[in-house]
Structure 1
Amino acid sequence: MKEYPIMFTAEMVRAILDGRKTQTRRCGDRWAKVRPGDRMWVKETWCWCWKCARLNDPEWYHSHDEDDPSIQLDKCGVKYAADSNNAFETCDPMNPKTRKEEFKWQPSIFMPRWASRITLEVVGNRSERVHDISREDCIAEGCPSQDWYRVNGGPEKWFMVLWCNINGKKPGRSWADNPLVHAIEFKRVKP
């Protein structure tokens, strides 16, 4: 079993947490090696309370490894852009030592493994052209609801808009390019 990091938007994280998203499509050769049984840890937009992490204390900061899970003990918590869980009730935003950097959102690309709250187990991986996605697979990609797609043109249109929003300006990955993708099916691993 191998572990891979995988980035998701806040909207797609909510769909995973709601149980609506069980598939993702990704471009690139790196996804071809992902096999059933492998795990993917989700990287999402996040922040932590800088006061509690004591990152302004150089002696403390330089004596700890960023990926050391024990660092969490010194934090009020991690907050995720996809939801309002893990609010920093114990932090003091009036403290002048912490005000300037507290609650700074970090892009998903910078999320360390210890801060990830979602692990996915791969159950399938196949290659196909992005236009070959079925209606059922569009729904498994996290389409909001039947009511939404009845009004807005179906799950296929929803998926096309999602794809264009994420990949539209990337050469060779736009909807019009109809790129080869890896359709990865997964299930959420419960903690």
Structure 2
Amino acid sequence: MTRRTLVPRSAEAYALMVNMNAGLNLEKSKKELIRCCCPYGKPGDIHWVRETWRYSDSLSEPYNYKADYVREYNQEFIDRIKGSWKPSIHMPKDGSRIWLQITGISIERLQDISAFDAMWEGIESSNEDFTSEEGALHADWKNYTWRDDPRYEDYHFPTFVDATESYRTLWEKINGKDSWNQNPWVWVISFNVLSKTGYEDLPEDIRQQLEGKEVLV
């Protein structure tokens, strides 16, 4: 699951957002906006994911992915090889290892995200404990904007009990300090992961479906 700020890119989209902001025909306006103007496609569409990458020295694995190095090595090592990394926008399709299929698209206000959806957004946690009696996951959720500085307002909170608070800091880290308070309309895109190891490992029926078709990025 992922959320993206809804930016109107046509007169029709702008008019529908005016209605939504005014609370006029809200659900109908959302459906029309999804039908006409979603830049991310529609349910059933297949996307290949671009990552920061570089060519590998290995014949068996022609590409390296920076995300793997972030998990396995310290920042000093990553910085030493920084010059060899290529931006994700330049990744060739045959280098993509992650393939997704959209299962649903909706529209909501950013701050309406639930704790469950915040977890599905991929926020990081520690000290996880599933309590069957209460039927809930308890964890310490990462504060993405925390700094070890007493002058910082969240200095005492390197983690949160509430998953939505963790997601708030992730959103602000990506989009800017006041972006959460602006509470924009967002696209909410749900998807299934079809493959994490490239096109060749896609299900056979999906590969047949893709033959001769353009795949979205």
Whether the TM-score (by the shorter chain) exceeds 0.5 is yes
Alignment of 1:156-175 (within 5 A): 156-168=164-176, 174-175=179-180
AA matched with 2:53: W
* Distance (Å, rounded) in 1 between the aligned partners of 2:182 and 2:119: 22
Paired residue secondary structure (1:83): helix
**2:46 is equivalent to residue 39 of structure 1:** yes
Paired residue secondary structure (2:168): helix
Question: CA RMSD for the aligned pairs?
Answer: 3.1
Q: 2:64 is matched with which residue: 79, 88, 98?
A: 79
* Distance (Å, rounded) in 2 between the aligned partners of 1:164 and 1:102: 25
Paired residue secondary structure (1:122): strand
Q: How many percent identity over aligned positions?
A: 38
State the match for 2:122 in structure 1: 142
Which digits, 9 at most, give the CA deviation of each residue in 1:125-161, with x for residues without a partner? 1011111111111011012234332971121111111
* Distance (Å, rounded) in 2 between the aligned partners of 1:143 and 1:102: 25
- Specify the structure having the higher radius of gyration (Cα): 2
State whether residues 47 and 103 of structure 1, in contact with CA within 8 Å, keep that contact through their aligned partners in structure 2: no
Query: For the structure 1 residues 181 and 102, does the alpha-carbon distance in structure 2 shift closer, same or farther, using more than 3 Å as the test?
Result: closer
State the match for 1:89 in structure 2: none
* Distance (Å, rounded) in 2 between the aligned partners of 1:157 and 1:37: 31
State the match for 1:3 in structure 2: none
Alignment of 1:2-13 (within 5 A): none
Counting matched residue pairs gives 129
State whether residues 45 and 82 of structure 1, in contact with CA within 8 Å, keep that contact through their aligned partners in structure 2: yes
Q: 1:133 is matched with which residue: 113, 124, 133?
A: 113
State the match for 2:84 in structure 1: 104
Q: Which has the higher contact order (CA 8 A, sep 6+)?
A: 1
Paired residue secondary structure (2:140): helix
Displacement of 1:78 in angstroms is: 0.4
Instruction: Could you tell me which runs of 5 or more consecutive residues in structure 2 were left unpaired when the two chains were aligned.
Output: 10-36, 70-80, 129-138, 143-157, 196-200, 202-217
